[in-house]
Amino acid sequence: MMPWLGAVLLLTACRADPDAPELVPIEVEPGAVHVPTRSLDFGTVALHGDARQDLVLSNIGTGTLHVHDLQLSDDRHRIHWTLDSPVEFQLAPGETVLVPILLSPLDVVDPSVVLTVVSSDPSTPRVTVELAAQVAGVPVVRLDPDALDFGQVDVGQQLTLDVVLSNLGNDTLSIDSVTLDAQTGFTLTIDPSGTTLAPGQANGLASVTYAPTDGGGHTGLLTFATNDPARPEVSLVVTGTGG
Identify whether the C-beta of residue 42 lies closer than 8 Å to the C-beta of residue 132. yes
Q: CB-based contacts of 139: which residues, under 8 Å, 6+ apart? A: 167, 169, 170, 171, 172, 173, 174, 197, 199, 226, 227, 228
For position 115, what pLDDT does the model report?
96
**Which pTM does this prediction carry?**
0.58
Torsion sign (Cα): 115, 121, 122, 123:
negative
Given this structure, which CATH class describes domain 33-136?
A: mainly beta
Average pLDDT, the chain: 89
For position 82, what pLDDT does the model report?
94
pLDDT band at 204 (very low <50, low <70, confident <90, very high): very high
Residue extents of the structural domains in the chain: 33-136, 141-242
Phi, psi at 187, each rounded to 5°:
-140, 135
pLDDT band at 10 (very low <50, low <70, confident <90, very high): very low
Superfamily of domain 141-242: Immunoglobulins (2.60.40.10)
pLDDT tens string 62-87: 999 999 999 998 877 889 999 988 99
pLDDT band at 103 (very low <50, low <70, confident <90, very high): very high
Report the 3 state secondary structure along 32-75: CEECCCCEEEEEEEECCCCEEEEEEEEECCCCCEEEEEEEECCH
- In degrees, rounded to 5, the angle at the alpha carbon of residue 174 between the alpha carbons of residues 173 and 175 is 120
Identify whether the C-beta of residue 200 lies closer than 8 Å to the C-beta of residue 178. no
Q: CB-based contacts of 185: which residues, under 8 Å, 6+ apart? A: 210, 211, 212, 213, 218, 240, 242
For position 26, what pLDDT does the model report?
53
pLDDT band at 138 (very low <50, low <70, confident <90, very high): confident
pLDDT band at 20 (very low <50, low <70, confident <90, very high): low
pLDDT band at 108 (very low <50, low <70, confident <90, very high): confident
Same fold, 33-136 and 141-242: yes
Q: Report whether pLDDT(198) > 70.
A: yes
Q: Which of 25-34, 178-187, 196-205 has the lowest mean pLDDT?
A: 25-34
Q: Report whether pLDDT(5) > 70.
A: no
Mean predicted confidence (pLDDT) in 176-188: 96
Q: Report whether pLDDT(175) > 80.
A: yes
Q: Report whether pLDDT(223) > 90.
A: yes
For position 107, what pLDDT does the model report?
84
Mean predicted confidence (pLDDT) in 26-47: 89
Identify whether the C-beta of residue 66 lies closer than 8 Å to the C-beta of residue 119. yes
Mean predicted confidence (pLDDT) in 147-169: 97
Looking only at the bridges linking them, the beta strands covering 126-136 and 39-46 are parallel
Q: How many other C-beta atoms lie within 10 A of the C-beta of residue 32?
A: 20
